[in-house]
Amino acid sequence: MEPFARQTVNASAIARDTAVGRTTVESHLSILEGLVASHLRAWIDDTGRDARLRWGRTPGGSEVELVGYGKGVFAAIDVKCTRTVRSEDLRGLRAFREVRPEAKPGLLHRGRDRSVRDGVLLVPCGEFLRGVLPGAPPLGTA
């Protein structure tokens, strides 16, 4: 697994994305992923947990945006820039869970409803970001 490198976002990065043909949705997704990663890194630092945050890929090539792991922590998190979560949006997390069943899978989305689908916790990004507080587990689960 490679370290998650997209931590900061600025106007020049968005302009560069647009110049190389990335769509607005892709640019927004990059921003959202960076924001989630920054919040999680701050949570790890603030809580003093011995945890790491990485980007993940299964041996079969499925990707997961963020994998948090360490003492008492093992979660796979995907971020989607969609209001409606489709079954194919869960593909990476399902594949990751097959390889690492002990990981808690979560998908952050731009919708309004929190739910569980196929064993994956679906959480609105806004709710997630407001809930990343020192001493509290980020996905609302231990």
Question: What is the residue-level pLDDT of the chain in tens, covering all 142 positions?
Answer: 333 333 344 444 444 444 455 556 566 778 888 889 888 888 888 877 788 888 888 889 888 989 988 888 889 999 998 999 999 999 999 999 999 999 999 999 999 999 999 999 999 999 998 888 877 777 655 4
Residue 50 domain boundaries: 11-131
With respect to residue 72, please indicate whether it lies within any of the assigned structural domains.
yes
Domain with residue 67: its CATH number is 3.40.1350
* 97 alpha carbon, distance to own chain's centre: 15
With respect to residue 118, please indicate whether it lies within any of the assigned structural domains.
yes
| This prediction's pTM | 0.77
C-alpha pair distances (Å), 96 with each of 27, 31, 76, 87, 101: 25, 23, 8, 15, 8
Is 135 strand, coil or helix?
Answer: coil
With respect to residue 69, please indicate whether it lies within any of the assigned structural domains.
yes
Closest CA to 60 of 87, 85, 91, 31: 91
With respect to residue 32, please indicate whether it lies within any of the assigned structural domains.
yes
What integer pLDDT is reported at residue 5 of this predicted model? 38
